[in-house]
Structure 1
Amino acid sequence: MVSELAQYNIHEAKTQLSRIIDRVEHGEVVVISRAGHPVAKVVPLADVGRRTGRGSLAGRISYTDDWDSPETNAEIAADFGMLP
């Protein structure tokens, strides 16, 4: 059985936006209509990888011993036309 998409007219969509977003966040697709004719579809975004906060890359990044040396910083400045 195919479930029917939730449908709101534009006025309802404006007044019920929070409810519509909640439904979409839970995987539903919502259609917005004008004068009974569908004009837009609100769909959930594809799940993207999210960082979990500070330190989420711990153990995945390594630095060379001279990563913050004056010589390295001068090279980077020169690359960007910012010679001291």
Structure 2
Amino acid sequence: MKKINIHEAKTHLSRLVDEAAKGKPFIIAKAGKPMVKVVAINEAAPKKVKRLNAMPGVFTIPDDFDTRHQEEIEKMFYGEDE
């Protein structure tokens, strides 16, 4: 990937933006240290993962979901009450 210093990026910004928009991303560096990556905004965004309610009507979450088997779990952690 092309790395460009800030001064050159300021001088040639229009051309660089056009290139990035065409799918040629680049990195802007300051004193040789990479600072930002310039990419086209029409690139595919990360796919959202829908976790709950992905299949309505197929699965249901019980009302006691957060307390189910609570007594058994507490016994495993704290031991039997005497």
TM value normalised by structure 2: 0.50
TM value normalised by structure 1: 0.48
Determine which structure has more spread, i.e. the larger CA radius of gyration: 2
